[in-house]
Structure 1
């Protein structure tokens, strides 16, 4: 199917170009974000998509957030004269930025939306961070201290969550809610599944992809399932 609408990649490139210019230009941002200048030029020219973790580094270097670049929610610090601050000046005002934005850790583990990947997320260190608006997290009922990012791997939750999607995990999810999607550990495998609670006790782990059969967890086996958090949001590069 051919879309008659504008290319979303062009919109991302335009917003990226705007924040890069405001932060001191291509060379300054490439150095601050530890991104090859040739790669940054491809992103600015809409010739290739920006990998999620790279986008996070560029956003921080530009004193903005990844969602600002992706979705157009502008956030650039300005000085008293109304002009955008240079990178060094912006970093000096980092406490002001932290009042409105939160660094959410991007964990090294990939949560499988497939048959499962061996790992123990509780012991996993953050590989990087993404910057998110506190008010946006509040709109999702996610406390900043409970927020973590995971990368989906596999296609069992497709078309809802696809391979390579970024997922925001709420570790302070409270009670498990029927029909919601969770990151959980089953037999030391990290998986992402939709949960259906059974009236007789126990639960079903549902894959949104019909090619993957549901797994029933009996009431007496529920204790072997460790819930890591609810999937509060997911996103992908366009």
Structure 2
């Protein structure tokens, strides 16, 4: 099933998205253009070779950086160059349809805990407002982080994108939470025991469950519930 946050770009005549992107970048180096929109050079080159297509939030960043029309970049329709008035219209239409959720370059360990420092927002992922409303999420209470490790396989794989609802911190048995225990971040299923202890459960049964004793609960901080997982198929 197609991810509703993905976007398909049609081909207009012989001109493909890759062709239009190459024209938009112009004489700017691929490395400099990629750096300006916080994208890896390798990912940008894949778009230029037509090997993959960006999500719409990345396409919008490309259009803004190149000062071209988003409509032209993704479909080939209209004029390539855009003035301030057209840019404002495009941005308004995008903002009406999508919410941009902040993404942090924080690797949440799904193996052994990894010590991390606070990180600034590095990128944004676009989610449809209708979907957020249907799920009862508030955009400003959501955050995107990245998984590291294999202890939650097959549910979560290394480098998967995790959407975290920071407004949902009530411990519910069996749900997956991003949590901090001491100085370490984890993504684990939680289960509260009758004696007051809390189990940190791994889906990969090669890992033993971890126990947070009742007298250590003050060291356990639930950051939010994992509500969506973005995966590569290969």
Q: TM-score, normalised by structure 2?
A: 0.73
Report if aligned partners of 2:19, 2:48 keep a CA contact under 8 Å in 1.
no
Structure 2: stretches of 5+ with no match in the other structure: 35-40, 64-69
Report if aligned partners of 2:9, 2:17 keep a CA contact under 8 Å in 1.
no
Indicate which of 198, 206, 210 corresponds to 1:211.
206
The whole-number CA distance in structure 1 between the counterparts of 2:71 and 2:92 is: 12
The whole-number CA distance in structure 2 between the counterparts of 1:237 and 1:84 is: 33
The whole-number CA distance in structure 1 between the counterparts of 2:104 and 2:200 is: 23
SS in 1 for 2:8: helix
Report the equivalent of 1:110.
Answer: 107
Post-superposition shift, 1:18? 5.0
Report the equivalent of 1:143.
Answer: 138
Which shows bigger deviation, 30-39 or 184-193? 30-39
Report if aligned partners of 1:30, 1:40 keep a CA contact under 8 Å in 2.
no
Report the equivalent of 1:170.
Answer: 165
Report the equivalent of 1:73.
Answer: none
SS in 2 for 1:25: helix
Structure 1: stretches of 5+ with no match in the other structure: 1-7, 64-75
Map Cα deviations across residues 60-119 of structure 1 (whole Å, 9 max, x no partner).
Answer: 2477xxxxxxxxxxxx869xxxx5675736632212321221111110111111101101
Greater C-alpha Rg: 2
Which shows bigger deviation, 202-211 or 30-39? 30-39
Report the equivalent of 1:40.
Answer: 47
Query: CA RMSD for the aligned pairs?
Result: 3.3
The whole-number CA distance in structure 2 between the counterparts of 1:211 and 1:198 is: 22
The whole-number CA distance in structure 2 between the counterparts of 1:22 and 1:86 is: 12
1:7-26 matches, within 5 Å, as 15-16=8-9, 25-26=20-21
SS in 2 for 1:88: coil
How many equivalent residue pairs? 202
Post-superposition shift, 1:217? 1.1
SS in 1 for 2:82: helix
Map Cα deviations across residues 163-220 of structure 1 (whole Å, 9 max, x no partner).
Answer: 0101101101142211100001112011110001112212100010111100111112
Report the equivalent of 1:229.
Answer: 224
The whole-number CA distance in structure 2 between the counterparts of 1:61 and 1:28 is: 15
Q: TM-score, normalised by structure 1?
A: 0.72
